Structure formats: structure tokens, C-alpha cells
Amino acid sequence: MTRHEKQRPSTGIRASIASAAARLMAEDGITDYHHAKKKAARQLGVPEHSAFPDNAEVEAELRAYRTLYQGEDHVELIAALRHTALELLDLLADFQPYLTGSVLDGTAGEHSHIDILLFADSAKEVEIFLLNRGIDVSHVEARNERVEAVLQMETDTADANLVILPPHMERVSMKHRDGRPHERIRAEALRALLKD
């Protein structure tokens, strides 16, 4: 058996896990990649110590799944979420906002959040700004120690997570766990994207 033949089964398992994880994310509204991969592996009867696909592989499968099974409905959902995101970027212009996450990359579904990065001296400053405009927010647990706070607010299309970072972090390129850079765009770029 050649080395290439030995690698093939694990590649097949990785692809199966990626495909099953993408289906779980699309159908069950799971937004955490690691959780989706673990659940997919359990459903497939794959041992926990197997090599899991990286997030980029699952994301590619998720994109393919949504295109194949959700088609035009998904295109309309992404457009609606991006329009709402643009309104938020305009509203929060004082805090150097960026759109990031699944709404930007086009993999968002009906259970997804709109993720906005904000750069402010304090989370309180953002909270007061929103409360003065009659917008209620709640606090959500931050998953990154560099994040000062995550405020969640309701919109007509989806809940929005406002991820607040210190101003100096705007110049820092943040990365996914698998090393890929987190994409992020400003309002002008999103406006251009919506015109396409």
C-alpha cells in the first residue's frame, strides 16, 4: 500500500465530517464549527481522536449546501441581513464599525447573528450611545480575552452581536483558530457589495 493510499481513508472521513457538519449548521442552526464537527463525527460513528476537517473545509461545504438546497431563498436572506448590517454600520459610525462573520462571507442562515466589530474606549460608551437612542442591549459572553464586551441587540432580520474591542485593536489582523484571517469590511465596502 502506498503512502497516498494510506492517506485516502482519513481524507474521506474528513470530507464526510465536513459535509455532515455543514448540513447540521444549515438545518439545525448550529453556529459553532467545533460543536458541529463533534456532533457530525458522533452521528457518523467516527472516533473523537480522528482528524477533523478545518473550519475552511466545513465553510466550503456549508456554502455548497446552501447554494444547492436553499438557492434563491438564501440569496434573499443574505441580502436582507447585509442591508440590516449596513444600517448598523451607519448607526455606529462613531465606533469605527466593521461587518465580519457569516453575514459577510455569505454562509449565514436563519439562525445566524450579524457580527459587528466596534472599537471604543469602553463598552459603557457604546451601551450609553444605544440606550440614548432607545435601543435595548444585553451582554453576551465574549469568546476572546481581547474583547472588552459583546452587546447583543435585536433587529428586524436577526440579532446583532456588537463585539467591542479597544481602539488599538483596529490595526491588528485577527485570525480564525485555523489561522485564516478574519475578513471584515467597512460600510463603504458593504454598500458596494450590495450594489453588485
Cα separations (Å) of 73 from 69, 79, 158? 9, 10, 16
The span from the CA of 112 to the CA of 99, in Å, is: 14
Domain locations in the chain?
3-53, 72-195
pTM: 0.76
Q: What is the pLDDT of residues 42-62, one digit of tens each?
A: 999 988 777 889 888 998 899
Q: Does domain 72-195 have CATH number 3.30.460.10?
A: yes
**pLDDT tens-digit series, residues 97-126:** 999 999 998 888 888 899 999 999 999 999
The predicted pLDDT at position 179 comes to 66
What the block records as the C-alpha cell of 45 is 460513528
Per-residue pLDDT of the chain (196 residues), as tens digits, is 344 433 344 678 889 999 999 999 988 888 888 889 999 999 999 887 778 898 889 988 998 888 888 788 889 999 999 999 999 999 999 999 999 999 998 888 888 899 999 999 999 999 999 999 999 999 988 877 888 999 999 999 999 999 999 998 888 877 766 666 778 999 999 999 898 7
pLDDT for the residue 176: 61
